[in-house]
Amino acid sequence: MIHLENISFTYPKSSFSLAFSSLKVEAGTHVALIGPSGSGKSTLLNLLSGILLPAQGDIYIHEEKITGKTEAARRAFRLDKIGMIFQSFALLQYINVENNIMLPLLLDGQPITKALKERCRELLKSVGLEGMESRYPAQLSQGEQQRVAICRALINNPKVILADEPTGNLDHKNATSVLDLMLQQVRISGATLIMSTHDRSLFSKFDRVVDINELTRESI
């Protein structure tokens, strides 16, 4: 279960604030997070990942209270337990595809074993990028970079995947196939998926749609 309660968050020197009383997501559920541009979807995902900390309220990720942890402990938890796909992909340009995929493990100080390289190879194959380990992000199309970002989110078999518009730059056909692929991986591992999207045609693929405006309405 993912559980947020009595959350209030404001960026420094900004009038934007995000406040709501409760959000509960059962483990293993696939949730689409929707709302207009600027409504706080990325902010909410960054709160869930522990990158941002709310001014008030508590966040539990599978029974762990992340709001009670230090920044270093939140980072370690994130690298170990959460797969993230950022709106801008956040691939590093000067390292190759394989190392981009291994990044959460490298940052966590884990040794890159043969088994991990094999998993990387299989993930790339599953997204149609077989043999692209040595390429650099600049040598890939936007859609291909997005698929590398998905592989990176899945490399450590996370039980929680937070995806910020991972299909945002893709045409409908590619968006559908990327989402199907993520859902397939998520089903295999039994992970919880929370994914922000503007694409209404994808809503039916999720167990649940959470509209951020409905979430915050009662608090306004």
Ligand X SMILES: Nc1ncnc2c1ncn2[C@@H]1O[C@H](COP(=O)(O)OP(=O)(O)OP(=O)(O)O)[C@@H](O)[C@H]1O
Lookup: tokens for 186: 């998520």
Q: Which of residues 49-108 bind ligand X (CB under 6 A)?
A: 87
Among 19, 32, 34, 42, binds Mg ion (CB under 5 A): 42
Query: From the CB of 47, what's the least distance to Mg ion, in Å?
Result: 13
Among 4, 25, 43, 216, binds ligand X (CB under 6 A): 43
**210 contact partners, CB below 8 Å, separation of at least 6:** 23, 31, 32, 33, 34
Q: How far apart are CA 170 and CA 12, in angstroms?
A: 33
Q: Which of residues 134-193 bind ligand X (CB under 6 A)?
A: none
Number of residues that bind ligand X (CB under 6 A): 12
Among 4, 23, 39, 137, binds ligand X (CB under 6 A): 39
Among 16, 131, 134, 200, binds ligand X (CB under 6 A): 16
- Binding partner selected for residue 16 from Mg ion, ligand X, none, CB under the kind-specific 5 to 8 Å limit: ligand X
Strand partners, 174: none
Ordered DSSP codes for 70-111: -HHHHHHHHHHHEEEE-TT----TTS-HHHHHHHHHHHTT--
Q: How far apart are CA 154 and CA 135, in angstroms?
A: 19
Q: Are residues 56 and 5 in contact, defined by beta-carbon separation less than 8 angstroms? A: no
Q: Which range of residues in 85-93, 114-122, 175-183, 187-195 is near Mg ion by CB under 5 A?
A: 85-93
Among 25, 42, 137, 163, binds ligand X (CB under 6 A): 42
Query: From the CB of 189, what's the least distance to ligand X, in Å?
Result: 26
Local structure of 216: helix, strand or coil:
helix
Query: From the CB of 216, what's the least distance to ligand X, in Å?
Result: 11
Q: How far apart are CA 164 and CA 149, in angstroms?
A: 11
Among 1, 6, 11, 26, binds ligand X (CB under 6 A): 11
Residue 167 within binding range of Mg ion, rule CB under 5 A: no
Q: Are residues 34 and 212 in contact, defined by beta-carbon separation less than 8 angstroms? A: yes
Which residues in this chain contact ligand X in the complex, by CB under 6 A? 11, 14, 16, 35, 37-43, 87
